[in-house]
Structure 1
Amino acid sequence: MAVTLQIAFNSLAVKEFQIINPQVLPAEGEIVDFKWDDFITDPGELELLENNDQTFVCSIVFKSYTASDVKIMVVLHEEQEYNARLYNS
């Protein structure tokens, strides 16, 4: 079974990227960290991410299941924004 994890950012001008068959799937509200250059090749985007000292929190947008594959889309929010949205709703 193939698993595709699609990752987008809520607040940064960074393109979405995919991880095929990730070893671990993030959970809703989980703090996540990546070795960005394993997944992103654009030098400008890498610099933006490396200079951003924010912690990212995962928000699961959708999950799709078939007999042969699973697709999961998550959005990474800066921790302050995620908490403000969570506690002010």
Structure 2
Amino acid sequence: MQSIKLRSRVGEDGILHLEIPVGVTDKDLEVMVIFQPLEPLVQMKTLEELGWPAGFFEQTYGSCQDDPIVIDSEGVFEQREEIL
């Protein structure tokens, strides 16, 4: 059994035409076709297009390395009745 993956386009007639050389002649074949419509590729926006200043991450990465953020105790919370 061999698996061949390819991309093809359906014409305006709604019919998919496949021409696949398989290297086999004068034999019966069992063929299974599974298709999945492809979504058009969406180009990713750059960081600047998303509103970040140029070089922001390069300049700020690791800035807390020598002065790590310490989270203080949040205290004791009151116990409330369970809602049923």
Report if TM-score (shorter chain) is over 0.5: no
TM-score (norm 2): 0.21
More relative contact order in 1 or in 2 (CA 8 Å, sep 6+)?
Answer: 1
Which of the pair is proportionally richer in strand? 1
TM-score (norm 1): 0.20
